[in-house]
């Protein structure tokens, strides 16, 4: 686990292996595997890349309900970093309350220090507010 600095704060990043789909405005999409995730972004292991700054839709595929409905975390994001192994996407916002609550559970479940992660998540400024708001 590492901590990701954003807006002068640190967010717990947890190592997980989750199948994902990344979709871009130009109509292209590809499957990827999540290497690690935080409440503000995700790092994908993938061989396909888009340029830094490209906006994308992210879908993390978590499984299915007993009635075969897919369980997903959905977010809008922007490519922030590229490496030989993959790419990092910063979430610009999570889509729906379910996505927030599912991602929160993932971070708390896999965090090395769940108490610290809980404190970050309960910050009165919220994880997506800009400084000064």
Closest by alpha carbon to 129, among 4, 2, 8? 8
| Residue 20: both structure tokens together | 């994902």
Domains and CATH numbers, the chain: 2-115 (2.40.10.220)
pLDDT tens digit sequence for 10-53: 678 999 999 999 999 999 999 999 999 999 999 999 988 789 99
Residue with tokens 């990344």, as numbered in its chain: 22
pLDDT tens digit sequence for 76-108: 999 999 999 999 999 999 998 899 999 999 999
Q: For residue 62, give Cα distances in angstroms to 38, 65, 69, 103, 115.
A: 15, 10, 11, 10, 24
pLDDT at 8: 45
Task: Evaluate if pTM is beyond 0.95.
Answer: no
- 100-125: average pLDDT: 87
């Amino acid at each position: 686990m590492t901590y990701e600095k954003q807006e002068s704060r640190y967010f717990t990043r947890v190592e997980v292996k989750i199948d994902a789909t990344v979709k871009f405005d130009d109509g292209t999409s590809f499957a990827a595997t999540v290497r690690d995730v935080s409440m503000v972004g995700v790092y994908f292991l993938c061989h396909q890349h888009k340029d830094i700054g490209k906006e994308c839709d992210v879908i993390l595929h978590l499984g299915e309900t007993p009635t075969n409905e897919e369980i997903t975390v959905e977010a809008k994001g922007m490519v922030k970093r590229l490496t030989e192994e993959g790419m990092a996407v910063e979430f610009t916002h999570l889509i729906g309350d379910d996505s927030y609550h599912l991602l929160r559970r993932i971070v708390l479940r896999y965090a090395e220090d769940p108490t610290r992660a809980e404190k970050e998540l309960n910050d009165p400024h919220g994880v997506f507010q800009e400084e000064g708001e």
